[in-house]
DNA sequence: AGATTATGCTTGACTAATCAACAGTTGCAA
DNA sequence: TTGCAACTGTTGATTAGTCAAGCATAATCT
């Protein structure tokens, strides 16, 4: 319970920040992933692998992001099944405007912990997560 | 990120267990809360306070649980605005059939941590959560 | 080569969560 | 006591996530 409620509190705090620019936290995460994949872009499913959502959800989220002009789809030569998704200039600008605020909110969320406590927390959480690696298949 | 992904992994593990009885994790949590409130039952919004969800979600979740015969609504004398929700016999039986499996899944989810590490993790998480108490209003 | 299987993504139908607005009830104050 | 505000739920509309099935393309097998 402590795990779920604290995760939700932090989520709510960060969500409030990204909501000021009209996107959701999940969409923000996708944009961040795509920024990290510049300038090549990433196939749709490769984005999904780094996220919590299932495949069809990714397709529709990309739909919404594309409708907002934040990303672009592109069929490449080579494997024509793949759809490469690239973040647009507008998308990059949106992220740039959000970076500092997110950083502040993130820092604020864990402000009660010292640096040492924060690393300890991260370490324990990663061990819990990684223990599920094999079973859950992700 | 470690917080979110580990929370989701644990959620998925527990969710898989309750899904075997046709309910969601949130519904399971509501039933647990109501079992804890026996034999009085609880007003609808009081359930919401102990959960992550917002108010309208609670109403509809109670709708679904009522449709399955797992809970019952009852207007009490006294404050006629309140709707008391009580878990039914069927609901209690469903929980009873789930208890051990949930317990096992829960234990399994954190099996990589020693008891001391688990208490440390809980303590850190609670501090993160409680730090948001004032701002988020819950 | 041709048939079969696997991959990558998309769509449709369904379920669920959220926001805004509402109705009934209560409390409080002029 | 009456009128206004607050509280407790509920509903409608919108948006989003999930499963199952489908289409196109690619890889594999004989």
pLDDT digits (tens, 9 = 90+) for A51-88: 888 899 999 999 999 999 999 998 887 888 899 999 99
Given a cut of 80, whether residue A103 has pLDDT beyond it is yes
The whole-number pLDDT of residue B137 equals: 40
How many other CB atoms sit within 10 Å of the CB of residue B87? 25
**What is the distance in angstroms between the Cα of A12 and the nearest Cα belonging to chain B?**
8
Give the long-range contacts of residues B34-37, CB within 8 A, separation 24 or more.
B34/B71, B34/B85, B34/B86, B34/B87, B34/B91, B35/B87, B35/B91, B35/B92, B35/B95, B37/B87
Burial B52-74 (b: 16+ CB within 10 A, else e): beeeeebeebbeebeeeebbbee
d(CA A50, CA A19): 22
The whole-number pLDDT of residue B138 equals: 40
Share of chain A above pLDDT 70, in %: 96
Question: What is chain B's mean pLDDT, rounded?
Answer: 89
Chain D nucleotides covered by protein, CB below 7 Å: 7-12, 16-21, 24-27
Question: What is chain A's mean pLDDT, rounded?
Answer: 89
Q: Which of A5, A127, A131 sits opposite B129 (nearest CB)?
A: A5
| A 24-83 → B contacts, CB under 8 A | 52
Over residues B96-120, mean pLDDT: 93
Cis before A39? omega within 30: yes
Given a cut of 80, whether residue A47 has pLDDT beyond it is yes
Over residues A15-37, mean pLDDT: 91
Q: What's the CA–C1' distance between B79 and D21, in Å?
A: 51
């Amino acid at each position: 319970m402590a795990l779920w409620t604290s995760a939700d509190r932090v989520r709510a705090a960060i969500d409030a920040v990204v909501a000021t620019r009209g996107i959701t936290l999940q969409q923000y995460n996708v944009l961040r992933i795509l920024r990290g994949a510049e300038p090549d872009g990433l196939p749709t499913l490769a984005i999904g692998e780094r996220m919590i959502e299932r495949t069809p959800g990714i397709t529709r989220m990309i739909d919404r992001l594309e409708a907002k002009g934040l990303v672009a789809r592109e069929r490449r030569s080579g494997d024509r099944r793949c759809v490469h998704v690239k973040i647009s200039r507008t998308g990059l600008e949106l992220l740039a405007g959000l970076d500092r605020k997110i950083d502040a909110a993130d820092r604020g969320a864990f402000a009660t912990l010292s640096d040492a406590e924060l690393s300890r927390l991260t370490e324990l959480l990663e061990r819990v997560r990684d223990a599920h690696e094999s079973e859950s298949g992700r």
